[in-house]
Each structure stands twice: as structure tokens, then as C-alpha cells.
Amino acid sequence: MRNLEKDEHEMAARRERMLETGFRIFAEKGIEAVSMQEVAAACGLGIATLYRYFSNKPAFVIAIGARKWEEYFDEVEAEFARRGGDMMNAAEELDFYLGAYILLYREHPDVLRFNQNFNGYVQHERATDAQLADYMRVIALFAKKFHRLYEKGRRDGTIRTDEPEQTMFNATMHIMLAVCGRFAQGVLVRTENPEDLTNELMILKRMILSRYVR
């Protein structure tokens, strides 16, 4: 008799190996340049096995994107709790979350490189809302955190809230993420050492804070 619990554990472990291997190769070589056959070979699996878990390449890529941003969200939340984030005012929270993107750039530039490729890939593949559902669920977690910050700012007055929430979100988190991504990919400035551009990102953070912190 088969051990169903063991089978499920092995399937979950195999799926994780596929996601991690795919992420590593896509971040290094670009999503468009890597075939599913190449990913399967790197996993030590046959292509048919890979397709049993993921129906096609877009499904695989989107699953990787959802997983990586979920891991980042959990990492940020753990650090937020460690620093006593619930006791921060809105200005302190804004400073923390902007800084979290700089930390992502320094410690996980591969996530940013993957994300830069991801956005272009899903547009090129014309991924549907249904295909992107799990990914958007994770991205919504970041929007919810910003909404909490924005509402706290309304109450404590430590940040400006005279601009619409979405405008402020775009001008803070989206701008920081976009620049971190470009730096990680070497699009704006080429460097062998990620720390080389940390100072520039700190300047950008201070510029954003100077606009929004009262």
C-alpha cells in the first residue's frame, strides 16, 4: 500500500525544486531565453514530469513570481515585527518599507532581475487575469500594507495624505522598486558590486521622504 502522506511530501518537494531551479535560471539568463526543456534538465527530470506540475511555461513563470514575492513579503513582515512595527508612526513605517526595497537590492538582486523579465514576459504572452490570479493575490498584500500606512498617516499626521493613495503608492513604492530593479539589472548603471549603488538608492529614499514626511 502506498503512503499517501509520503507521496504528497515528495510531490511538494519536487515542485519546490522546480520553482527554485526555474527561478535561478530565469534570473540569470532571462525568461525568454530559457526553455522548459532546459529547466527540466537542470532539475534532473524529464520534460513530461515538469508539464505534469505546470501546464505551460507562463503558468510556471507566474508560479515562480508569486512564490518569490510571497517569500519577500514574509521576510519583510518578520523584520517589521522584530522592529516593533506596530508601534511605528506612519513616517517611520514609510521609511522602513522604502528601506526594505534597498535591502532587497543588496541581498536578493536576483529577485529584482527576475521581476524585470517577468513583467515583460507576461505582457508578451498576454497572460489573462485568471492565469495571474495567484500572483495578483500576493501583490495585493503589499497594497494592503500601504493602505494601512496611508490610513495611519491620516490619523497621526506624520505624512502627507493630501494626494490620492494610489498616486502616493506609485510615487513611493513603485518608484523605489523600479529603480532598484533597473540597478540590479544593470540597465541604468553597470556595476559588479551591488553595494556600489546603495548610496544612490539612499539618496532617492531621502528625496521621497522629504516630499511626504511632515
pLDDT for 190 equals 55
Handedness of CA 182, 98, 110, 9 (dihedral sign): negative
CATH number at residue 4: 1.10.10.60
Q: What is the radius of gyration, based on Cα positions, of the chain?
A: 19
- Residue ending a domain, among 39, 54, 69, is 54
pLDDT for 205 equals 98
Instruction: Answer whether residue 96 shows pLDDT above 90.
Output: yes
- Rounded to an integer, what distance in angstroms lies between the CA atom of residue 68 and that of residue 80? 18
- Rounded to an integer, what distance in angstroms lies between the CA atom of residue 161 and that of residue 90? 11
Residues 29 and 112 in one domain: no
Residue with cell 514626511: 213
Residues 50 and 62 in one domain: no
Residues 188 and 128 in one domain: yes
Residues 161 and 176 in one domain: yes
Residues 75 and 16 in one domain: no
Instruction: Answer whether residue 29 shows pLDDT above 90.
Output: yes
Give CA angle at 51 (48, 55), nearest 5°. 150
Q: What secondary structure, in 3-state letters, does the chain show?
A: CCCHHHHHHHHHHHHHHHHHHHHHHHHHHCCCCCCHHHHHHHHCCCHHHHHHHCCCHHHHHHHHHHHHHHHHHHHHHHHHHHCCHHHCCHHHHHHHHHHHHHHHHHHCHHHHHHHHHHHHHHHHCCCCCCCCHHHHHHHHHHHHHHHHHHHHHHHHCCECCCCCHHHHHHHHHHHHHHHHHHHHHCCCCCCCCHHHHHHHHHHHHHHHHHHHEC
Give the pLDDT band (50/70/90) at residue 54.
Answer: very high
pTM over 0.75? The answer is yes
Instruction: Answer whether residue 131 shows pLDDT above 80.
Output: yes
pLDDT for 186 equals 79
Interval 163-183: pLDDT, tens: 999 999 999 999 999 999 999
Give the pLDDT band (50/70/90) at residue 8.
Answer: confident
Give the pLDDT band (50/70/90) at residue 4.
Answer: low
**Domain range enclosing 71:** 57-212
Residues 194 and 125 in one domain: yes
pLDDT for 67 equals 96
pLDDT for 195 equals 56
pLDDT for 80 equals 97
Give the pLDDT band (50/70/90) at residue 2.
Answer: low
- Residue ending a domain, among 54, 78, 95, is 54
Residues 45 and 61 in one domain: no
CATH number at residue 118: 1.10.357.10
Residues 75 and 160 in one domain: yes
Instruction: Answer whether residue 18 shows pLDDT above 70.
Output: yes
Partnered with residue 213 across adjacent β-strands are: 159
Residues 34 and 86 in one domain: no
Residues 6 and 25 in one domain: yes
C-alpha cell at 124: 508578451
Residue with cell 522604502: 98
Interval 101-125: pLDDT, tens: 999 999 999 999 999 999 999 999 9
